[in-house]
């Protein structure tokens, strides 16, 4: 639902922010966990952060070279014309340091060292039509867990208008599903935290029921819109994007004005015709996108009806998913998976072909399949026993090595999200048409 | 430079060189759409009409074909002005055109080849002209990315300053055209349909043909006379014919086929339908396979490798599952060279010999997706010398598809069966060697 009008890019650059996300995804389970000091005192916070930062130098270096690689191939990744590597490095280190202080200050003071940390966990709760990606989950004794969200772009907590809270609650619901199979089961939940620059937001527990209801209602609204329904629209009393001039606000304002003029019948008929055509095509693209999620529904429906073990066996037999892989090694952006030698080689009908988009799922014990750790990539090479999958950069490959190397792997088909690729040019032409065809006084 | 074009191709080349608009070029199989597209790109650069030209295709196979065509025309110097970009795994590693995703390198080249999906990675640059291939499989919205690369900011600004600008533009394409985009949209709506949530949705090329000028090529440089006749009548191309030097072409073999294969391979017969009666089985949610047909394909292919080792072969089927089974059997026999593809993947490709596995065979006589005009048309029009169809003949003659359930007489599958039987080919029973 993020891009129903094709407004896909904000006005700010995300390169440094994304790089810090990459750094955190590798550093949290390693250097941050290793240096965790429960009950850290006020005068120790900066020292702890500096120690973690020092231990993470290699990770930062790797993430920066990964970002440089992106800049080489995607001009759009360039934050500004005045980009220089040293400035970029300093920016990344500054943001990273801020998050580390935030963790030392607000998490280490209250919580013991977690047993395990997982990062960038995609969770699909198909039954509730809810999917999202947790920045991190911390696991404690007796399977208790905490949910973390990094704010690497917006360093000022006060300027967010409170929208981060809804994202956190939404992620906590997904984490509940991951750890108990039920989003309403709060037994093992310990905390949720949004980590900002040198600070953090931890909502009081228990999480307020009206917050949970709001997330669920909005989720239902999005689902009904995507299903072609016409749910009653309620503009929030306060919208941090539109009312406060947040990211993407000019695009958002453009469509609001466009819709208002159309409603009032003030648009020239030629422009109105083009506008209607573009809006219609956008909804068709959303319809098509719904199709791309169908394999997840097939898998979940089978699991609901037959239990996970039987369902997965059947799905493997009918070649909808592929099991019995293990992560063998990592080379650059690629992970090399090998298949258990005892698997029947005759069963070679597979969707695993070069360029097919797949999700590698590490099968964790007592965790629903579609909530287990996973990475998305595309098939580079495939033969009977070996599968090479290209991931989105070397950091993703490193993360896969950390999180998947001890787990049996299942490969399921996934789809490229075509929505942005198709909606973005529609958005551009929509604005172009408005710019050329609307009289200046409108 | 080596370039031989027929009169129709020359006509199109001159038409597109002298016009700065968006137009469509419809090209039946083998009529040289890719050749004309590549030649047009070179002509535009050579004559200084365009500084930079974009060649776009929906599939990597077709994008690679652009690269090969440019190399054939320009020779080694093609490496100096052309670049292939996109997803590296989709690039033909033997392609003599350099590949790069580096912005600096792409900006230095005059002709850029890419798939539509990879366009978003291109740096901000403007192309004076573009050729968009395989527009039959795309929808309107898929054309918008390439079109965006043609928008001229100055033309756009000039138009904005005009009084009553809105009234002069009645349509999205008119707007795009007035903002400076110059494009030739190439494709064949009878070879492919767009994948769309609405069944009756227009393909991108149909959309352009409805709104702008278009032309059709009608001389096939791939299909020999019997095949061009079959394809012309089957898809109703209204006059598709073979180029004179291609018309009499027949399969040549180095040693005569074994007696069991003689009826199937007989070189003088361009189209042979082997009436195989294997059973279909569902594979996964939307795919089907037919084991007996798969084995038959492999046996015929292996024998052809023995008697005509220099000939290129491709096995085409509608279903991915069947493709995998066939490929698996081929690899077991040590054949890693014969290409196996689905009808979608076969777009833009050709081979000396084509073996087409129909797969569907059931008591309900449901031909399903294999019976669509576009899929059948693609499968029967890839071959330069010989087409071998494998499948239950009666099933095709009397079967039905969802699209033709009212009157099976209009079914494309039935039409194909009738044309092969009555005029353009030979139906033979399954020889014993293919029975198991």
Residues 241..300 of A with a Cβ closer than 8 Å to B: which?
Answer: 268, 270-271, 273-274, 277-278, 281, 284-285, 287-288, 291, 298
Q: Which chain B positions have a beta carbon within 8 Å of A349's beta carbon?
A: 283, 289, 321, 324-325, 328
Interface residue B160 vs chain A (CB under 8 A)? yes
Q: Report how far Cα A383 is from the mean position of its chain's Cα atoms.
A: 30
Most confident of A237-246, A250-259, A370-379, B160-169: A370-379
- Rounded CA Rg of chain B: 23
Searching chain A, which residue's CA lies closest to the CA of residue B283?
A318
Q: Which residue has the tokens 């690497």?
A: A152
Interface residue B333 vs chain A (CB under 8 A)? no
Distance CA A28, CA A137 (A): 10
Interface residue A352 vs chain B (CB under 8 A)? no
**What was the pLDDT predicted at A331?**
92
- Give tens-digit pLDDT for B232-247: 999 999 899 999 999 9
Query: Do residues B305 and B296 lie in contact, with contact meaning Cβ atoms separated by under 8 Å?
Result: no
For the record, the structure tokens of B340 come out as 């196996």
What would the mean pLDDT of A207-229 be, rounded to a whole number?
Answer: 85
Phi, psi of A120 (to 5 degrees): 50, 60
Quick check: A316 pLDDT over 70?
A: yes
Please name the member of B120, B170, B324 whose beta carbon is closest to the beta carbon of A348.
B324
Top-confidence residue, A203 or A346 = A203
CB within 8 Å: A424 and B120: yes
Quick check: A157 pLDDT over 70?
A: no
CB within 8 Å: A436 and B89: no
Q: Which chain A positions have a beta carbon within 8 Å of B196's beta carbon?
A: 284, 288
CA distance A303 to chain B (A): 16
**What was the pLDDT predicted at A10?**
45
What would the mean pLDDT of A294-312 be, rounded to a whole number?
Answer: 91
Model pTM above 0.90: no
Q: Which chain B positions have a beta carbon within 8 Å of A380's beta carbon?
A: 89
Q: Can you say whether residue A54 is alpha, beta or left, with left for phi > 0 and alpha for psi between -120 and 50 degrees? A: alpha
Distance CA A237, CA A24 (A): 35
Top-confidence residue, A10 or B407 = B407
Quick check: B413 pLDDT over 80?
A: yes
**Res. A324 pLDDT band, cuts 50 70 90:** confident
Q: Which chain B positions have a beta carbon within 8 Å of A72's beta carbon?
A: 101-103
**What was the pLDDT predicted at B421?**
94
Top-confidence residue, A95 or B163 = A95
Distance CA A76, CA B124 (A): 8
Query: Do residues A356 and A378 lie in contact, with contact meaning Cβ atoms separated by under 8 Å?
Result: yes
Distance CA B205, CA B202 (A): 8
**What was the pLDDT predicted at A83?**
64
Distance CA B53, CA B42 (A): 9
**What was the pLDDT predicted at B415?**
92
Please name the member of B102, B198, B321 whose beta carbon is closest to the beta carbon of A73.
B102
Count of residues in chain A: 442
**What was the pLDDT predicted at A327?**
94
Q: What is the mean pLDDT of chain A?
A: 84
Residue B328 neighbours by CB distance under 10 Å: 19
In eight-state DSSP terms, residue B120 is: G
Phi, psi of A151 (to 5 degrees): -110, 95
**What was the pLDDT predicted at B258?**
93
CA distance A282 to chain B (A): 9
- Give tens-digit pLDDT for A326-365: 999 999 889 999 987 665 544 545 667 777 889 999 999 9
Q: Which residue has the tokens 């070397």?
A: A394
Interface residue A348 vs chain B (CB under 8 A)? yes
Residues 345..404 of B with a Cβ closer than 8 Å to A: which?
Answer: none
Q: Which residue has the tokens 């191309």?
A: B237
CA atoms within 13 A on the CB side of A194: 23
Distance CA A373, CA A347 (A): 27
CA distance A279 to chain B (A): 11
CA distance B97 to chain A (A): 19
CA distance A107 to chain B (A): 40
In eight-state DSSP terms, residue A293 is: T
CA distance B143 to chain A (A): 9
Burial (0-12, 13-18, 19+ Cβ within 10 Å), A262: middle
CA distance A20 to chain B (A): 23
3-state class of A149 per DSSP?
strand
**Res. A392 pLDDT band, cuts 50 70 90:** confident
Top-confidence residue, B371 or B161 = B371
Query: Do residues A125 and A371 lie in contact, with contact meaning Cβ atoms separated by under 8 Å?
Result: yes
For A230, residues 6+ apart whose C-beta sits below 8 A from its C-beta are: A224
CB within 8 Å: A436 and B120: no
Residue contacts between A and B (CB atoms, under 8 Å): 115
Distance CA B357, CA A262 (A): 53
CB within 8 Å: B144 and A416: no
By percentage, how much of chain B surpasses pLDDT 90? 61
Distance CA A295, CA A411 (A): 12
- Give tens-digit pLDDT for A117-131: 999 999 999 999 999
As for the ipTM of the complex, it is: 0.84
CB within 8 Å: B120 and A390: no
Phi, psi of A266 (to 5 degrees): -95, -5
Dihedral sign from CA coordinates of B15, B19, B25, B31: positive
For the record, the structure tokens of A329 come out as 């090694």
Q: Report how far Cα A174 is from the mean position of its chain's Cα atoms.
A: 12
Q: Which chain A positions have a beta carbon within 8 Å of B142's beta carbon?
A: 422
Distance CA B249, CA A349 (A): 37
Pick from B88-102, B160-174, B376-390: least confident: B160-174
Please name the member of A349, A421, A437 whose beta carbon is closest to the beta carbon of B283.
A349
Distance CA B126, CA B128 (A): 6
Distance CA A139, CA A115 (A): 6
Closest CA to A133 of A120, A119, A146, A117: A120
- Give tens-digit pLDDT for A24-60: 999 999 999 999 998 888 888 888 999 999 999 999 9
Top-confidence residue, A409 or A252 = A409
Residues 232..271 of B with a Cβ closer than 8 Å to A: which?
Answer: none
Interface residue B202 vs chain A (CB under 8 A)? no
The Cα angle at residue A15 between residues A10 and A16, in degrees rounded to 5: 115
**What was the pLDDT predicted at A414?**
85
Please name the member of A319, A355, A439 whose beta carbon is closest to the beta carbon of B283.
A319
Give the helix/strand (H/E) hosting A225. Answer: helix A209-226
**Res. A11 pLDDT band, cuts 50 70 90:** very low
- Give tens-digit pLDDT for B188-243: 989 888 766 666 678 899 999 998 999 999 999 999 999 999 999 999 998 999 99
CA distance A227 to chain B (A): 13
Interface residue A384 vs chain B (CB under 8 A)? no
Interface residue B120 vs chain A (CB under 8 A)? yes
Phi, psi of B177 (to 5 degrees): -65, -45
Quick check: A8 pLDDT over 50?
A: no
Distance CA B31, CA B374 (A): 17
Dihedral sign from CA coordinates of A203, A206, A207, A210: negative
CA distance A299 to chain B (A): 12
- Give tens-digit pLDDT for A261-285: 999 999 998 899 999 988 888 888 8
CA distance B60 to chain A (A): 10
Closest CA to B32 of B56, B14, B7: B7
- Measure Cα distances from A67 to A83, A330, B95, B201 in Å: 13, 18, 29, 41
- Measure Cα distances from A353 to A389, A401, B332 in Å: 10, 22, 18
Searching chain A, which residue's CA lies closest to the CA of residue B322?
A349
Interface residue B283 vs chain A (CB under 8 A)? yes
What would the mean pLDDT of A191-215 be, rounded to a whole number?
Answer: 91
Searching chain A, which residue's CA lies closest to the CA of residue B59?
A355
By percentage, how much of chain A surpasses pLDDT 90? 46
Distance CA A397, CA A335 (A): 6
CB within 8 Å: A436 and B140: no
Distance CA B28, CA A165 (A): 58
Residue A404 neighbours by CB distance under 10 Å: 24
Distance CA A188, CA A241 (A): 34
Question: Dihedral, CA atoms, A288, A292, A298, A304, nearest 10 degrees?
Answer: -90
Q: Which chain B positions have a beta carbon within 8 Å of A438's beta carbon?
A: 166
Interface residue B320 vs chain A (CB under 8 A)? yes
Residue A3 neighbours by CB distance under 10 Å: 18
Q: What is the mean pLDDT of chain B?
A: 89
**What was the pLDDT predicted at A350?**
63
Q: Which chain A positions have a beta carbon within 8 Å of B283's beta carbon?
A: 318-319, 349
The Cα angle at residue B434 between residues B430 and B436, in degrees rounded to 5: 120
Quick check: A4 pLDDT over 50?
A: no
Beta pairing partners, B56:
B114, B132
What would the mean pLDDT of A52-69 be, rounded to a whole number?
Answer: 90
Residues 6..25 of B with a Cβ closer than 8 Å to A: which?
Answer: none
CB within 8 Å: B140 and A281: yes
Interface residue A344 vs chain B (CB under 8 A)? no
């Amino acid at each position: 639902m993020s891009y129903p009008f094709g407004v896909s890019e904000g006005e700010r650059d995300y390169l440094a922010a994304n790089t810090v996300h990459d750094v955190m995804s590798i550093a949290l389970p390693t250097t941050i966990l290793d240096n965790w000091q429960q009950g850290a005192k006020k005068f120790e916070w900066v020292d702890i952060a500096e120690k973690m930062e020092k231990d993470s130098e290699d990770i930062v270096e790797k993430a920066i070279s990964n970002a440089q690689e992106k800049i080489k191939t995607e001009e759009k990744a360039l934050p500004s014309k005045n980009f220089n590597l040293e400035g970029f490095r300093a920016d990344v280190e500054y943001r990273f340091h801020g998050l580390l202080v935030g963790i030392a200050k607000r998490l280490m003071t209250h919580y013991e060292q977690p047993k395990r940390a997982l990062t960038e966990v995609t969770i699909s709760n198909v039954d509730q039509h809810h999917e999202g990606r947790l920045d991190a989950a911390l696991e404690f004794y007796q399977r208790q867990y905490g949910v973390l969200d990094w704010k690497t772009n917006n360093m000022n907590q006060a300027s967010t208008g409170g929208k981060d809270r809804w994202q956190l609650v939404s992620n906590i619901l997904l984490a509940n599903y991951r750890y108990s199979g039920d989003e309403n089961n709060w037994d093992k939940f310990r905390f949720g935290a949004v980590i900002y620059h040198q600070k953090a937001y931890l909502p009081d527990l228990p999480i307020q029921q009206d917050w949970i209801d709001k997330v669920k209602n909005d989720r239902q609204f999005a689902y009904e819109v995507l299903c072609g329904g016409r749910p009653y629209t309620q503009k929030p009393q306060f919208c941090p994007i539109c009312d406060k001039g947040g990211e993407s606000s000019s695009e958002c304002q453009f469509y609001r004005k466009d819709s208002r003029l159309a409603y009032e019948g003030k648009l020239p008929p030629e422009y109105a015709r083009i506008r209607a055509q573009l809006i219609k095509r956008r909804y068709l693209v959303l319809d098509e996108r719904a199709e791309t999620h169908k394999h997840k529904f097939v898998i979940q429906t089978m699991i609901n009806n037959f239990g996970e073990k039987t369902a997965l066996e059947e799905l493997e037999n009918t070649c909808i998913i592929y099991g019995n892989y293990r992560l063998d090694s990592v080379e650059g952006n690629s992970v090399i998976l090998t298949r258990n030698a005892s698997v029947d080689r005759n069963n070679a009908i597979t969707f695993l072909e070069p360029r097919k988009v797949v999700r590698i799922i590490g099968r964790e014990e007592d965790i629903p399949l579609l909530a287990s750790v996973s990475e998305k990539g595309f098939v580079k090479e495939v033969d009977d026993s070996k599968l090479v999958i290209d991931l989105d950069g070397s950091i993703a490959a490193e993360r896969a090595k950390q999180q998947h190397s001890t787990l049996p792997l299942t490969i399921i088909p996934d789809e490229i999200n075509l929505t942005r690729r198709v909606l973005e040019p529609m958005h551009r032409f929509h604005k172009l048409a408005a710019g050329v065809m609307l009289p200046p006084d409108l | 430079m080596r370039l031989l074009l027929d009169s129709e191709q020359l006509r199109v080349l001159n038409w597109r060189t002298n016009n700065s608009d968006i137009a469509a070029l419809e090209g039946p199989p083998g009529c040289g759409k890719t050749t004309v597209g590549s030649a047009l790109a070179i002509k535009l650069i050579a004559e200084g009409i365009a500084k930079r030209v974009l060649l776009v295709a929906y599939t990597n196979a077709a994008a690679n074909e652009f690269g090969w065509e440019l190399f054939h025309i320009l020779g080694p110097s093609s490496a100096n002005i052309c670049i292939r970009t996109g997803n590296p795994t989709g690039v033909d590693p033997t392609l003599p055109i350099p590949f790069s995703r580096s912005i600096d390198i792409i900006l230095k080249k005059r002709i850029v080849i890419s798939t539509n999906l990879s366009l978003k990675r291109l740096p901000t640059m403007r192309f004076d002209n573009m050729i968009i291939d395989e527009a039959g499989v795309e929808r309107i919205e898929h054309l918008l990315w390439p079109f965006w690369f043609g928008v001229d900011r100055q033309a756009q600004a000039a138009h904005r300053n005009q009084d009553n600008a809105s009234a002069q533009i009645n349509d999205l394409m008119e707007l795009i055209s007035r903002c400076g985009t110059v494009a030739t949209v190439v494709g064949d709506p009878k070879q492919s349909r767009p994948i769309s949530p609405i069944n009756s949705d227009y393909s991108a090329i149909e959309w352009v043909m409805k709104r702008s000028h278009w032309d059709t090529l009608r001389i096939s440089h791939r299909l020999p006379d019997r095949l061009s006749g079959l394809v012309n009548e089957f898809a109703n191309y209204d006059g598709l014919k073979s180029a004179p030097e291609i018309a009499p072409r027949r399969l040549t073999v180095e040693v005569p086929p074994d007696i069991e294969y003689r009826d199937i391979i007989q070189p003088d017969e361009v189209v042979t339908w082997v009436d195989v009666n294997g059973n279909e089985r569902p594979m996964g949610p939307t795919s089907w396979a037919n084991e007996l047909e798969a084995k038959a394909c492999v046996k015929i292919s292996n024998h052809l490798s023995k008697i005509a080792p220099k000939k290129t072969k491709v096995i085409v089927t509608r279903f991915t599952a069947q493709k995998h089974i066939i490929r698996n059997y081929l690899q077991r026999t040590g054949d890693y060279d014969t290409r196996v593809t689905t009808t979608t993947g076969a777009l833009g490709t050709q081979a000396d010999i084509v073996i087409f596995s129909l797969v569907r065979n059931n008591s309900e006589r449901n031909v399903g997706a294999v019976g669509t005009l576009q899929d059948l048309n693609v499968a029967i029009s890839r071959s330069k010398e010989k087409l071998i169809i494998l499948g239950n003949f009666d099933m095709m003659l009397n079967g039905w598809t969802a699209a033709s359930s009212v009157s099976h007489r209009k079914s494309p599958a039935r039409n194909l069966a009738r044309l092969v039987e009555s005029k353009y080919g030979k139906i033979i029973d399954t020889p014993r060697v293919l029975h198991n």
